[in-house]
Amino acid sequence: MSTITAQPRHDGTMSVRDTFRWIRETPAPYWDAEDSTKGRYVAWLGISALAWTVVGIAGTALVGEGLRGLAGLLG
């Protein structure tokens, strides 16, 4: 494991040069799992994203219909 030499300044910020050095020196995460576990996780993420997209579109349509109905009642 390497030592990260880029350190933040006293105010907690980092220069652009130090930020890129920190990115280069930080080891990449490694997921030690079986391929079937990774496949199930990726599938779950995809299905979840699709489901939330459908829920978002349906919710937007319902709000639009509700506003149209309210405008019809008031107008």
**Nearest in space to 4 (alpha carbons), one of 18, 22, 16:** 22
- Total domain count, the chain: 2
Residue given tokens 């930020």 in the structure block: 19
Task: Based on the fold, state whether residues 39 and 26 are members of the same structural domain.
Answer: no
In this structure, are residues 5 and 25 in contact, taking their beta carbons and an 8 Å threshold? yes
Give pLDDT, residue 8: 65
DSSP tag of 29: P
Q: What is the pLDDT of residues 45-61, one digit of tens each?
A: 999 999 999 999 999 99
Give the residue numbers spanning the domain of 70.
35-74
In this prediction the pTM is 0.48
Task: Based on the fold, state whether residues 66 and 48 are members of the same structural domain.
Answer: yes
User: What integer best gives the mean pLDDT of the chain?
Assistant: 85
Average pLDDT for runs of 10 along the chain of length 75:
62 81 81 83 94 97 94 90
Token pair for residue 57?
């579109």
Give pLDDT, residue 28: 75
